[in-house]
């Protein structure tokens, strides 16, 4: 990761390169990253702050396996300007929502005109995030926070995928009633005003007989409700497209991760009974027709706990699906396993990806035997202290099918 250095008496650009890289010939790395107060690197001013890009040798991943030619350098492109050299990196990706996000910290040089333009507040500039040559995200900057202290100047930028617009914004199109329309058709109608496209790698749903949206709903919540009825999820891809797909619950096992073995660093599990109910009662919401009710029961909750909610669905079958998915969603929300592994890449040398299956055994977090989990989300983290880490958010695969698992991770047989 980049560092921040204050020029001392007697410093030259080559002596600084020798100090940080062990080789004077590396001075162009410093020159290319800075705008000098005197206008030239040959005349450094005492007290001047310089950005020191990370040494190439420090970019090697913390792993016994090194993939030839693979690069984990993170770069962003804003208005045609490519920026590298971050002090810390945090990139979050999910398979079940459209809020992929990023957060970067780096040494800030306000004298650099390109940087001043790239990070102009409220500019609405499009940003593309890359790891090596792989595009990870296309989005907007939500938050810019420069900071000044006696020893350095830093800036933090945070943003999300352009698809996050459908999470933030209310439905503002007509008609609000859709008859005999597939999810893909409904989604296309609702997201067109945002300049987004729909991608359906697993095909479209059967037509919905009749569904009614409300202006008070945001676009994602309405589409996600329909997706769950048909066993689909909604997320976004690297280009900001809306992806309607299915959980790969029967896919191949990507790798096995075991407590005490590399690459596992740490893990935690959460089992929250307050998220689950003994029964889920869905009621159709209609001003012109008699309400229809459907109930789904959770056989593993012994307390009498009932969750009642209204749905825009108008047929008995779709209302029952809403009740079943409410139960499945509660299961997913109540059980979370998270493991952090060294490296951003799986054993095959590819970047970790959501919607993949891994096998986990970690008794300390109550996964007593080998258990298959779905990677529902991941967090690429880079820091000066620990290098590259990936936190995998794991879910029981059945939570995305509307079914209950035969066996849970804590079962010992």
What does the pLDDT look like over 213-261, one tens digit per residue?
888 889 999 999 889 878 899 999 999 999 999 999 888 999 999 999 9
Q: Domain end: 226, 245, 264, which one?
A: 245
Decide: 298 and 289 in contact? Cβ < 8 Å.
Answer: no
Encode pLDDT of 332-382 as tens digits. 889 999 999 999 999 899 999 999 999 999 999 999 999 999 999 999 999
Residues 339 and 391 in one domain: yes
Share of the chain above pLDDT 70, in %: 93
Residues 221 and 277 in one domain: no
Residue 202 maps to a domain: yes
Encode pLDDT of 286-339 as tens digits. 555 667 889 999 988 999 999 998 876 667 777 888 888 888 889 888 999 999
Distance between CA 7 and CA 47 in Å, rounded? 5
Q: Domain end: 245, 267, 287, which one?
A: 245
Encode pLDDT of 16-60 as tens digits. 988 888 888 888 888 877 778 888 888 898 888 787 876 644 433
Residues 396 and 258 in one domain: yes
C-beta contacts of 346-351 below 8 A and 24+ residues apart: 346/254, 346/255, 347/65, 347/255, 349/65, 349/67, 349/70, 351/131, 351/134, 351/380
Residues 217 and 259 in one domain: no
Residues 268 and 387 in one domain: yes
Distance between CA 160 and CA 181 in Å, rounded? 30
CATH number, domain with residue 49? 3.10.350.10
CATH number, domain with residue 224? 3.55.50.10
What is the domain count for the chain? Answer: 3
Residue identified by tokens 């589409």 is 223
Residues 331 and 233 in one domain: no
Range of the domain at 314: 253-400
Decide: 41 and 31 in contact? Cβ < 8 Å.
Answer: yes
Residues 258 and 353 in one domain: yes
Encode pLDDT of 101-131 as tens digits. 999 998 888 887 878 888 899 988 889 999 9
- Stated pTM of the model: 0.80
Residues 265 and 360 in one domain: yes
Residues 266 and 390 in one domain: yes
Residue 157 maps to a domain: no
């Amino acid at each position: 990761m980049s560092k921040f250095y204050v020029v001392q008496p007697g410093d030259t650009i080559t002596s600084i390169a020798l100090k940080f890289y062990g080789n004077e010939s590396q001075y162009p790395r410093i020159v290319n990253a800075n705008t000098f107060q005197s206008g030239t690197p040959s005349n450094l001013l005492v007290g001047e702050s310089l950005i020191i890009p990370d040494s190439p040798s420090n970019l090697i991943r913390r792993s016994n396996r090194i993939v030839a030619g693979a690069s984990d350098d993170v770069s962003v492109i804003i208005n045609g300007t490519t920026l590298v050299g971050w002090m810390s990196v945090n990139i979050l990706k999910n398979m079940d929502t459209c809020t992929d996000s990023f957060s970067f910290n780096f040494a800030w040089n306000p004298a650099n005109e390109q940087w001043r333009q790239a990070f102009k507040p409220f500019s609405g500039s499009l940003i593309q995030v890359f790891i090596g040559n792989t595009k990870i995200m296309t989005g907007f900057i939500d938050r810019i926070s420069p900071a000044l202290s006696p020893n350095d100047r830093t800036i933090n930028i945070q943003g999300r995928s352009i698809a996050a617009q459908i999470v933030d914004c209310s439905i503002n199109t007509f008609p609000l009633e859709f008859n005999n329309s597939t999810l893909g058709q409904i989604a296309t109608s609702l997201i067109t005003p945002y300049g987004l496209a729909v991608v359906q790698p697993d095909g479209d749903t059967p037509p919905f007989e009749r569904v009614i949206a409300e202006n008070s709903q945001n676009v994602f919540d309405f589409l996600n409700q329909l997706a769950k009825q048909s066993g689909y999820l909604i997320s976004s891809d690297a280009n900001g497209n809306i992806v309607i797909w299915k959980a790969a619950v029967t896919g191949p096992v990507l790798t096995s991760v075991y407590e005490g073995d590399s690459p596992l660093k740490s893990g935690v599990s959460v089992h929250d009974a307050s998220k689950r109910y003994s029964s889920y009662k869905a009621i159709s919401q209609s001003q012109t027709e008699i309400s229809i009710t459907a109930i789904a029961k959770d056989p593993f909750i012994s307390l009498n706990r009932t969750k009642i909610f209204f749905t825009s669905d108008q047929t008995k079958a779709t209302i029952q699906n809403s009740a079943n998915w409410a139960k499945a969603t509660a299961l997913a929300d109540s059980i979370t396993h998270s493991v952090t592994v060294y490296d951003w890449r799986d054993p095959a040398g590819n970047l970790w990806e959501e919607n993949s299956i891994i096998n986990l055994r970690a008794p300390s977090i109550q996964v007593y035997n080998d258990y298959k989990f779905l990677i529902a989300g991941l967090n690429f983290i880079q820091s000066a202290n620990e290098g590259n880490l990936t936190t995998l958010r794991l879910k029981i695969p059945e939570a995305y099918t509307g079914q209950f698992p035969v066996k849970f991770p804590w079962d010992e047989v």
